[in-house]
Amino acid sequence: MIRIHNVLVSPGEGGVYGERMLDGYRVWDPYRSKLAALYTVGTGIELAPAMRVLYLGAANGTTVSHVADYVDTVYAVEFAPRPMQDLLEVARRRRNIVPIMADAGKPEEYAHFMEPVDLVYQDVAQPDQVSIAERNLPFLLPGGWLVLMLKTRSVDVRRDPEDVLAEARDALARRLEVVEVCWLDPYHLDHAAIVCRDRRCAEVK
């Protein structure tokens, strides 16, 4: 990841959402992006130019635009019509974004658009966030990555967020190697990042 004076940036054209520019790079604000928060408080994964990404819960394209600055292709899935309008404008300016209006919990709706991906990134506000991630794992290449931004209050507002996180981590560990787990405080309260890798990575080394 690119940092200038310890500030996380991405190398694309500015003016997507009023972001600041620094030495010709776009400042990637951790208060506006959970992925930027992960890179700030944790480690995350290195985005590379050859990567293909399935982004679930693309919203209006803020984080999508930064990811697209680093990788080859982003398949950006969003269900709500209003954010999709903003996402389409972002995709118009970045031709490596493929906007898909569909329900992330129903991957069969967009399977015909897809190719195998190196990273599944998920940021959706649903109770069944782990189940949604698992339904999209068939798109993941051997050795690929899952980054799940867990919104604990969307899972169950009555439960302790620590318990919700532990349950999600254990569920994902049944199929994937859990590499990193961290809370995104102070940037996004009651949100946690779970970074996992497909265990088939040993087959492709």
Listed by start position, the domains of the chain span 32-203
55-59 contacts at long range (C-beta below 8 A, 24 or more positions apart)? 55/121, 55/123, 56/104, 56/120, 56/121, 56/122, 56/123, 56/124, 56/132, 56/133, 56/136, 57/104, 57/122, 57/123, 57/124, 57/125, 58/83, 58/87, 58/99, 59/83, 59/86, 59/87, 59/123
Q: Would you say 123 is a known binding-site residue?
A: yes
Q: Would you say 139 is a known binding-site residue?
A: no
Q: Would you say 73 is a known binding-site residue?
A: no
Q: Would you say 125 is a known binding-site residue?
A: yes
Q: What's this model's pTM, rounded to 2 decimal places? A: 0.94
Q: Would you say 129 is a known binding-site residue?
A: no
**pLDDT tens digits, one per residue of 25-83:** 999 999 999 999 999 999 999 999 999 999 999 999 999 999 999 999 999 999 999 99
Q: Would you say 91 is a known binding-site residue?
A: no
Q: Would you say 98 is a known binding-site residue?
A: no
Look up the CATH architecture of domain 32-203.
3-Layer(aba) Sandwich (3.40)
